[in-house]
Structure 1
């Protein structure tokens, strides 16, 4: 990449956007104003334009269309759903009926406490209050759109949550929400969804204060390079769209944007695998910054501690660890056979513990192990797939497991023995993991063969930062600290809600709630 393409640090400081990413743009690009009404000729006119077709975008579009608005959804990729369609399908809902059915006590206050602990206390609490208040509304709306959830088993307890509060789609995937919701949206009068349609810029009112539309390219062909929204990619036919009521940005996070993520966290290698789809890039976010949107927590990038080096992307590993080897089993350092973390802590705590090992020896991938008799039904349903892919392996004895991963066998057996004793005696171990009793009233489950194991490696998963929005999903201006007229946002493109690290299964709740709120308020 030429020197002209990369803005100098001095130029970035002049713009005040070093932490927000203008450092990766040329000075002329970053300083170029968005086009105004006098600069363009509109090809088509809609009431509402939504950028992105994941949980947040589809919820926003549906709520807007239900109010009688004419809605256009622009999705830059060739398929609908973004990261949402490959999401694990878990949705955190405090005080849900399934909890009451199984005698699980919960409260919004417990939910806030859990989120604040994981987020290191830097969460914007008013946003947590919003998603807790509207969580069941969002669930009901997803069901109205055709989503189906597992209702014949207890809710799941994801890492960092103090109680089980997460319901899961029947297919244990975000596609269980996205596919029916996309079909629901496309049947709504006046609602149009276009794929391979990349938003290039916002169109502002002539006085530069209000978002009134977007420029875009139709039949765009995404090309994932080092800088994922490559400025040299000129594919597609240019279009200009007016939005009479406003624009809702739901373009997602940027964990696949190798250049931008490295600007925020230089420790992330260019070739680091992620759990995200290829189109999870920063282009739309940067355009929002250029029109004055306030950035929040941009350099907090969450790593998924349940990912594996033995498969690409999200894969099956999170399913077999979350309700299996992490929840009821253990993770060990392969160099000494000892546990090194609370396997049910929040994601940041676990990923940080894994990185202590991997930064000392990049090939010493920690191993997570457990036994079949303790696995949740979701794990059992995924087990054959995980075994066939080689992500998970089965061993009759601990000696065989230790030999495969080159773990000191005697040390591993001692670790398992101590863990079983702690479980049997209801001992809270040194890592403060809830080992016993199993929260649904089962008897204590000891680890005994056959054993199932997989290697773990953190992968960039969720970009915590983004645009600051208020509880009406209005984007806040960095210049005035007030909402930018005509501009709303929802989902992972926003920041602040989850602080330093999001708890698992809170993404669907956040995206659906804030998408709905944007559609209700625009």
Structure 2
């Protein structure tokens, strides 16, 4: 059955952080009717993320923590080096940095809460009492020579959810509630299948989607429960998540038969990335082999938003870029060791961000890596576990210290147990120690605060090689997407021209973190690109709007939606 409704001003496809920010911004700029269509019941991957937003330039949280001297230009100089060759021009990156403080204030005006002291140690999983942290490679070479290091990871205040206490839901939820209060209509359990195209010039003027006939019916409620519960367990209980998602998919297959066309004056695609689409990964990201295509992603990250944009002539960019994370901190003392490949050579600086460490292993050692420490460093790690870790990460570290390592009285014996070249490992460690003793720079330029000699037996090793399952899996996200105009967020075609009325945001678009990623940068880009698209879409609306009576979609509140966030 195909039912037509009067045109909306703006339709947003995807109800994660980027989509909700787009909807709010559109209403603020004058759009009188905004509808968000989401395949589950909102949140997306953002809601099961760590809830860390990358921001700088002297935010309130930075000022309160004593780092208010950070400037937008300083942030720009760091990010220009970090995200080099991203799909954004210098003007867009400067705008991203210049507006960073204002965006944080905007988030807070819609209910998001930030604040708290600086975390005194290196981690991507801070304890709840900390609200600010270093999340990238700001202190590492060569970044520290390009810009003054400053902490820019703003952790959302909240209780969090799941075994890792992810606070992404505490960021998304108040924004979602704010959007509903502003009159944004939300349609859950909905999958957009195609665009409505203008018969004359072919521009996008709406969507065709499939949903449950009654969004409050039993089948819809069961679908939402299984889908949302499955999403909750994605980061840490993959088999259970797979089972729950499978049941949700069966309910959808046999229960969702209601097809609706909805016209609009602008469409914003914010439907996530494509880490769950195996065929797209095999075609575009050969480097994704061995990485876990789950973790902080959902079944919605199947590339459907990107493919929709391509169906309207949209071009893509950076689809070959994927970010996998091998974190070896906290405790920080892990960074005092050396990471070597099977040949015994170091694969890169140990103090770089976890995605860079993972990338170095892929590029230089076939995805293999081994962390080598001596007994002094090992003891330091053990003494800092309770102070610097919590929840599931603490359990992982305790597993590594108890069972997940190898031990030997000599470096040669340790090398043999891992099938590492023993002579080369001994030379690598000697070179590392000699540089410390002679007060010379580290051979791969690791910073002094993470350097200590590897001299005291017994010696310890942990296999940190890339794998896609188990306790030591390497989670990943895709970074590329639809090419968009830097000023508006409109999707660009192969000729660099925007198809009228079509926008993309979040991981559906190739944005600030399309080349490299550090913790918090994707959520920050979701806010930036979503807000940009919503504002421009509303600003570009025709002055004369349809005056026909409007058949309103059901308006839900967050409490109406079965969810475990």
Normalising by structure 1, we get a TM-score of 0.72
Q: 1:184 to 1:445 in 2, by over 3 A?
A: farther
Cα distance between partner residues in 1 of 2:524 and 2:67 = 22
Q: 1:498 aligns with which of 488, 503, 513?
A: 513
Encode CA deviations 1:157-194: one digit per residue, 9 max, x unaligned.
233334232222235532231122223323x2422223
Deviation at 1:491, TM superposition (A): 0.9
**More displaced, 131-140 or 417-426?**
417-426
Deviation at residue 200 of structure 1 after TM alignment: 0.8
Q: Which residue is equivalent to 2:316?
A: 295
Confirm or deny: 8 A CA contact 1:58 1:515 kept in the other structure. yes
Partner of 1:127: 92
Deviation, 1:511, is 0.8
Comparing 109-118 with 240-249, greater Cα deviation is found at 109-118
Cα 1:378–1:113 change in 2 (3 A) is farther
Whether 2:84 is the aligned partner of 1:84: answer no
Which of 145, 154, 162 pairs up with 1:167? 154
CA distance in 2, matches of 1:261, 1:323: 31
Question: In 2, distance between residues paired with 1:68 and 1:377?
Answer: 53
What displacement does 1:134 show?
2.0
- Is 1:58 the counterpart of 2:20 in the alignment? yes
**SS of the residue 1:352 aligns to:** helix
In the TM superposition, what are the counterparts of 1:93-492 in structure 2 within 5 Å? 93-97=55-59, 98-100=61-63, 101-103=65-67, 106-125=70-89, 126-153=91-118, 155-161=132-138, 162=143, 163=149, 164-170=151-157, 171=160, 173-186=167-180, 188-219=181-212, 236-269=256-289, 272-275=292-295, 276-298=297-319, 300-306=320-326, 318=327, 321-325=328-332, 328-333=335-340, 335=342, 339-345=346-352, 349-356=356-363, 359=366, 364-367=368-371, 380=387, 382-389=389-396, 392-394=399-401, 399=407, 406=417, 427-436=440-449, 455-457=464-466, 459=474, 461-478=476-493, 481-492=496-507
Residue 195 of structure 1: CA displacement?
2.4
Partner of 1:75: 38
Q: Which moved more, 1:235-244 or 1:489-498?
A: 235-244
> C-alpha separation between the residues in 2 aligned to 1:513 and 1:133?
11
1:233-275, CA deviations, whole angstroms, 9 ceiling, x for partnerless residues?
6762333343443111111110111011111134544985443
Corresponding residue for residue 507 of structure 1? 522
Cα offset for 1:119?
3.6
State the distance in 2 between where 1:377 and 1:181 align.
37
8 Å Cα contact 1:395-1:450 kept in structure 2: no
Change (3 A) 1:135 1:256: same
Spell out, residue by residue over 1:33-57, the C-alpha distance to the aligned partner (whole angstroms, 9 max, x if none): xxxxxx9751464322111122211
SS at match of 1:42: strand
Classify 1:281/1:419 alpha carbon distance in 2 versus 1 (closer, same or farther; 3 Å). Answer: same
In the alignment, the residues of structure 2 paired with residue 106 and residue 421 of structure 1 have an alpha-carbon distance, to the nearest angstrom, of: 36
Distance 1:377 1:74, change over 3 A: farther
CA contact (8 A) 2:58 2:68 kept: no
CA shift digits 1:494-521 (9 cap, x unpaired): 1153353233321111110111122222
When the two structures are aligned, how many residues end up with a matched partner?
456
* Partners of 2:8 and 2:264 within 8 A in 1: yes
Give 3-state SS (helix, strand or coil) of 1:342's partner.
coil
Q: Contact between 1:213 and 1:240, CA under 8 Å: does it hold in 2?
A: no
Distance 1:176 1:451 in 2: 39
CA distance in structure 2 between the partners assigned to 1:368 and 1:519 by the alignment: 49
Find the aligned partners of 1:356 and 1:514 in 2 and give their Cα distance. Answer: 31
Pick closer, same or farther for the CA change 1:243–1:400 going to 2, 3 Å.
farther
Residues 272 and 507 of structure 1, relative CA distance in 2, 3 Å threshold: closer
Deviation of 1:285 after TM superposition, in Å, equals: 1.0
Distance (Å, rounded) in 2 between the aligned partners of 1:44 and 1:404: 71
RMSD: 4.4
Q: State the distance in 2 between where 1:507 and 1:139 align.
A: 14
Q: Distance in 1 between matches of 2:188 and 2:333?
A: 38
Cα distance, 1:420 vs. partner?
Answer: 8.0
Q: Using the alignment, how far apart are the partners of 1:410 and 1:395 within structure 2? A: 28
What is the rounded CA distance, in whole Å, between the counterparts of 1:326 and 1:249 in structure 2? 43
5+ residue gaps, structure 2: 120-131, 144-148, 161-165, 213-219, 231-241, 468-473, 538-565
Q: 1:294 to 1:384 in 2, by over 3 A?
A: closer
Please, what TM-score do these two structures have when normalized by structure 2?
Answer: 0.67
Q: Supply the distance in 2 between the matched residues of 1:273 and 1:391 (Cα, whole angstroms).
A: 25
- 2:283 aligns to what SS in structure 1? helix
